[in-house]
Chain A
């Protein structure tokens, strides 16, 4: 099972609790922050298509 390492969103109403949440002002910024986080955390960015992106570490599940 993958583990959610971070959540990035421009819509504050969509998210709460759990993993670290990064609030961004717009969709463009969403991509930029998610891009950086992907490289930093070595976790894949997935788009939930509701303005929220999650960074999931799939590796911890396979090891």
Chain B
């Protein structure tokens, strides 16, 4: 058996590459509280695409070893294919977003779409490395390389959370006439007595304090703020309906010191839980800026 395996180098290499590529895709395909990709069909789509990606990565190795260099142009087809995946995700999510009580926002959608594209490339990488090692060395080296590649892809999988860039504390929701405040930060003007009463009863306030100058820019990003509100509303529930335009969760900035006030109307009136949810919310890649990295900064690099 082992002798036969040693003889069928290319076949074994491709099979191992595909298997490890698929394992990488499955390990990166998590349907968590966001329920995205949707179960079951959204998942089927991504598992199938993962299979294609794994196949492409694995097949590239034998073609290279046979000095069939033009076959590598095949990979450009793959890149095109996965750009389409990103497009597809973006379009679907944008369409769905208009039907959400608290929308995700364009930045969050772009982030999710980017992740889908990126993960397919990680699958190609895993399949390629596995196939390469099992063909050039031996099949067991392929398995070891595959495991290492999966660990590496999983390392790149997770981004930062709000807890890395900011402190969050619970705050008091106050009504001063029609003006709504969270601690000292102005949120909005509420005209109706009825709505004010609901806000007094059900409103929860949180204050997000950025840890440094770079984080301040990230938190100020409108897409990032909308993502926070969406995540909080998904997990905590939201007291809101169509035709109730005033019952709107909002996040407003203190322009003076960069603190962000988050005003929520959750189903679960648990400020401490809301604080924990907010701390675990993702930092959107597209919202990150690094003003401290600019050449004009004199006093060294802050927050590095």
Contacts and interface: CB of A to CB of B under 8 A. Distances in A.
Whether both chains belong to one complex is answered with: yes
A31 B245 contact: no
Given A47-B177, A47-B178, A49-B177, A38 B189 contact: no
A58 interface: yes
B81 interface: no
B250 to A, nearest CB: 11
B29 interface: no
Contacts of B178: 46-47, 49
B1 interface: no
Given A46-B189, A46-B191, A47-B189, A38 B177 contact: no
A58 B193 CA distance: 20
A60 to B, nearest CB: 11
Contacts, number: 42
A42 B191 contact: no
Given A47-B177, A47-B189, A49-B177, A42 B194 contact: no
A contact face: mostly helix, strand, loop, or mixed: mixed
A30 B177 CA distance: 15
Interface in B180-234: 189-195
B7 interface: no
A42 B177 CA distance: 22
Interface in B240-259: 242-246, 248
Contacts of A10: none
B243 A45 contact: no
Interface in A16-63: 31, 34-35, 38-39, 42-47, 49, 53-54, 57-59
Nearest to A30: B191
Given A46-B178, A47-B178, A49-B178, A38 B193 contact: no
Given A46-B178, A47-B178, A35 B192 contact: yes
Contact of B192 (A31, A42, A54, A57): A31
Given A46-B178, A47-B177, A34 B192 contact: yes
Contacts of A59: 245
Contacts of B246: 38, 44-45
A34 B195 CA distance: 11
B242 A45 contact: no
Contacts of B192: 31, 34-35, 38, 45
A47 B242 CA distance: 21
Interface of A: 31, 34-35, 38-39, 42-47, 49, 53-54, 57-59
18 contacts: A31-B192, A34-B192, A35-B194, A38-B191, A38-B192, A38-B246, A42-B245, A43-B245, A44-B191, A44-B245, A44-B248, A45-B195, A46-B178, A47-B189, A47-B190, A49-B177, A58-B245, A59-B245
Given A42-B243, A44-B246, 11 more contacts: A38-B192, A38-B245, A39-B244, A42-B242, A44-B191, A45-B246, A46-B190, A47-B177, A49-B177, A49-B178, A59-B245
The 7 closest A-B pairs by CB, nearest first: A45-B191, A47-B178, A47-B191, A44-B245, A46-B189, A44-B246, A46-B191
